[in-house]
Structure 1
């Protein structure tokens, strides 16, 4: 089974993907992993590669293509990334979300910064990404039509979010 898990920063997609992988034994990849791999291939550290990627839409496109290729060559895989659902032929497409205040607090703790700064960075990043996704891919990131399931990760503990996805995969298997 191929599953995509997307969501904005701080929504818990990485945690959900890791726990889901542990529960199911299905391996997972993330857009971040691919980004780091591409940086290493070019002999750059993450910061230098991030700067390079800012003005180079081919980097975004290559990440999307690599995810799609890896998924196409896999029987079972969890693919984590904001746009994965648009480029990966998946059996289940999940979007995780949480209120901005919750996501800000999570990132604040994870990155040891103030909640106010985390919130400002999230807002700036999301505006930039929304514009970039629209310009590069003609994707409105706020349109949830591509997703089979949308989960408020603030309403459930991370383990429960993964369990919800497991239950959905069981329903899908019964329908096949």
Structure 2
């Protein structure tokens, strides 16, 4: 089974992916973690690395192609990334997590040890940069959620509830 998890920064995609992978014994692949690692390797923060990616399409393409290659050729895998649901053509379940900008900014501030205003500004810039790159590189409007099987609020439902809801959907798919 191939499951993709997508959502905007701070929506809980990595938390959900890791929890499901652990519970189900699946492999977990995260495009966001790869992107962060690449930024750190270049001693850049995410905003600066995002701006570099705007002028160097090879950065996104490398991450996206690698994720696509792994996801499409693997079984029992969870692929987390903003474009995973669009890139993994043979996915069995595509999930998009939502949360308000305020909720996501608070999560990002807590995760990255920033004040709320800085987290909000960085999040807005990151989303703008990513949306522009996805339009330019792939012709994708990130706001179009029509390809997803589930759109679920990680703000309305807590982490454990989101995991239970998704596991219920997975069990249903496995039994039909």
Compute the TM-score of the two structures, normalised by the length of structure 2.
Answer: 0.88
Q: Which residue of 2 aligns with 1:18?
A: 18
Report how far residue 46 of structure 1 moved.
5.2
1:67 partnered with 2:67: yes
1:138-157 equivalent positions in 2, closer than 5 A: 138-157=139-158
Taking a change above 3 Å as real, the CA distance of residues 111 and 34 of structure 1, as seen in their structure-2 partners, is closer
Question: What is the SS of the residue equivalent to 1:78?
Answer: strand
CA distance in 1, matches of 2:95, 2:128: 22
Report how far residue 18 of structure 1 moved.
0.8
Question: What is the SS of the residue equivalent to 2:97?
Answer: strand
- Equivalent pairs counted in the alignment come to 171
- Extract unaligned runs of 5+ from structure 1: none
CA distance in 1, matches of 2:2, 2:99: 24
Taking a change above 3 Å as real, the CA distance of residues 47 and 54 of structure 1, as seen in their structure-2 partners, is farther
1:105 partnered with 2:70: no
Q: Give RMSD over aligned pairs.
A: 2.0
Report how far residue 45 of structure 1 moved.
3.5
Report how far residue 52 of structure 1 moved.
4.9
- Extract unaligned runs of 5+ from structure 2: none
Does the 8 Å contact 1:2/1:76 carry over to 2?
yes
